[in-house]
Amino acid sequence: MRSLLALIPLLLSTFLPFSLAAKATAQAQPAAGADPVKALVGRLDLEKYKATVKGLTQFGDRRQGTDRNRAAVDWIEAQLKSYGCPTERIKYVYEPPPPNPGGGRGRGNTDVAAGGGRPRGVRTPTGVNTDPMKQPNEKLRALNMQPTTPGPREMVYCTKVGMTRPDEMYIVGGHMDGHGWGEAANDDGSGTALVMELARIFSGPDVQTERTIRFALWNNEETGLNGARAYVDQRQALQGKEDPPGSRRFPEPKWLGMIQHDMMMFDHGMPRPDGTMNPEQRPEADVNIEFQSNSKMAQGSQALAWTLHAANEKYATDYPAAVGPHMTNTDSTPFMDLVPAISVRENERGVQIGSGWDPQWHQPTDLYTTYSDKDFRLGLNAAQTTLGAVAELTGATLKK
Ligand SMILES: [Zn+2]
């Protein structure tokens, strides 16, 4: 009995990828009258997702306050427009805070991780690479060479306007800036590409939704969530206001929820005792959905997290989802006391990524070529999860 049971996971892991691939192909042409959400999720495609991540990596690490960052904003905007998703820009000014000699260097030997979780098991050091010479690719090193300068910043979003409830909106976000002298492929090309792919699918000519969806590509996440904070500061008070009056136009629909995507692809498990990593995506890899239990909107945020969990059960082809209470350090934070807010990731941010589970994080090795199809597929499963949930929440249907 025991040995037979032990065989089951092995058999599943051997045969599941093939059966799932066959199922995914069958879903590509849904029958008329089929679940429209399932049909929309079926429009996600691994190769298209990879191509969008790759497109973002042509701008190197996309560090905020540089020409390569501004070129990436222009490129993202052109893609969104080509999908038929009308774009707008947020403008703000970023002045770096004065250096803080006392703090800012890790959390020491504390037993509590960022966000409130408790780290366990093997932990390896993390940090941000600032040494150009650690990037062996000379072309990429040259691309990333221009230093950041303080001053005006821009970031782009696009909007799918709801038919019957244009005044209510879900915000789907990722951050397009990065650092560390690589290509910021996973942090956060993977989340940016996910948001762009959802914008493409929801902007399809036969897709309609009852409620509005906004697709936001935040800038300045890595410097302290400054882009998302600028959005909240500038637009929070505009929520639900019809402008001009009587037009049924709502420049800032009432926020119903915010779903952030930041590092979507790498779940190889805990570092080994010698500090090395499993080179393969672990078979138990999952999509981590986090809310913050200490936020004012914890109850609504938890409900939103479980909605995504249910959508994962229903629509994700390969990897399951897990819900946790320690959301931290990403662009959903400025929203979490105002509106249900969650983050979707490859791992828990505080106890797992913070303990070294992603060795490419902020390093020169965060390159498109670092990741295998199994890694990209975890990102695609997160896209299936969010797309399914948002399609349900906004009442998406397909025109016949
Ligand atoms: Zn990030």
Task: Note the pLDDT tens digit of each residue in 327-344.
Answer: 999 999 999 999 999 999
- Which of residues 101 and 124 earns the better pLDDT score? 124
Confidence (pLDDT) at 110: 64
Residues 367-395: what's their mean pLDDT? 98
Confidence of residue 99 (pLDDT cuts 50, 70, 90): confident
Percent of the chain with pLDDT over 90: 88
Q: 104's torsion region: left (phi>0), alpha (psi -120 to 50) or beta?
A: left
Ligand 1 geometric centre to CA of 8 (Å): 37
- Which of residues 251 and 9 earns the better pLDDT score? 251
Ligand 1 geometric centre to CA of 83 (Å): 25
Ligand 1 geometric centre to CA of 349 (Å): 10
Ligand 1 geometric centre to CA of 26 (Å): 34
- Examine the pLDDT at 25 and tell me if it is beyond 60: no
Confidence (pLDDT) at 24: 46
Picking from 100, 105, 110, 147, the residue whose alpha carbon sits closest to that of residue 126 is 105
Ligand 1 geometric centre to CA of 179 (Å): 9
Confidence (pLDDT) at 376: 98
Percent of the chain with pLDDT over 70: 89
Task: Note the pLDDT tens digit of each residue in 195-253.
Answer: 999 999 999 999 999 999 999 999 999 999 999 999 999 999 999 999 999 999 999 99
Q: 191's torsion region: left (phi>0), alpha (psi -120 to 50) or beta?
A: alpha
Confidence of residue 274 (pLDDT cuts 50, 70, 90): very high
- Examine the pLDDT at 92 and tell me if it is beyond 70: yes
Confidence (pLDDT) at 16: 45
Strands 151-160 and 87-94: antiparallel
Ligand 1 geometric centre to CA of 399 (Å): 36
Cα 143–147–153 angle (5° rounding)?
100
Non-local CB neighbours of 234 within 8 Å, separated by 6+ positions: 90, 92
Ligand 1 geometric centre to CA of 354 (Å): 12
Confidence (pLDDT) at 33: 61
Residues 29-55: what's their mean pLDDT? 89
Ligand 1 geometric centre to CA of 304 (Å): 21
Mean pLDDT of all residues in the chain?
92
Confidence (pLDDT) at 103: 52
Integer Cα distance of 267 and 284 in angstroms? 9
Confidence (pLDDT) at 295: 98
Answer whether the bond into residue 358 is a cis peptide, omega within 30°.
Answer: no
Integer Cα distance of 291 and 273 in angstroms? 30
Ligand 1 geometric centre to CA of 156 (Å): 17
Confidence of residue 21 (pLDDT cuts 50, 70, 90): very low
Ligand 1 geometric centre to CA of 264 (Å): 10
Picking from 195, 154, 196, the residue whose alpha carbon sits closest to that of residue 172 is 195
Picking from 304, 391, 396, 392, the residue whose alpha carbon sits closest to that of residue 343 is 304
Count of all residues that appear for the chain in the document:
400
Confidence (pLDDT) at 131: 97
Integer Cα distance of 119 and 347 in angstroms? 13
Q: How far apart are the first and last CA of the chain?
A: 52
Ligand 1 geometric centre to CA of 78 (Å): 23
Confidence (pLDDT) at 5: 43
Task: Note the pLDDT tens digit of each residue in 52-65.
Answer: 999 999 999 999 99
Ligand 1 geometric centre to CA of 184 (Å): 9
Residues 274-299: what's their mean pLDDT? 97
Q: Any idea what DSSP says for residue 66?
A: S
- Examine the pLDDT at 10 and tell me if it is beyond 60: no
Confidence of residue 368 (pLDDT cuts 50, 70, 90): very high
Ligand 1 geometric centre to CA of 272 (Å): 24
Picking from 98, 117, 65, the residue whose alpha carbon sits closest to that of residue 221 is 65
Residues 287-299: what's their mean pLDDT? 98
Ligand 1 geometric centre to CA of 175 (Å): 7
Lowest mean pLDDT among 14-28, 92-106, 286-300: 14-28
Task: Note the pLDDT tens digit of each residue in 309-327.
Answer: 999 999 999 999 999 999 9
Residues 268-282: what's their mean pLDDT? 96
For residues 288 and 345, the answer to whether their CB atoms sit within 8 Å is yes
Picking from 28, 78, 26, the residue whose alpha carbon sits closest to that of residue 52 is 78
For residues 199 and 158, the answer to whether their CB atoms sit within 8 Å is yes
Confidence of residue 23 (pLDDT cuts 50, 70, 90): very low
Ligand 1 geometric centre to CA of 315 (Å): 25
Residues 40-69: what's their mean pLDDT? 98
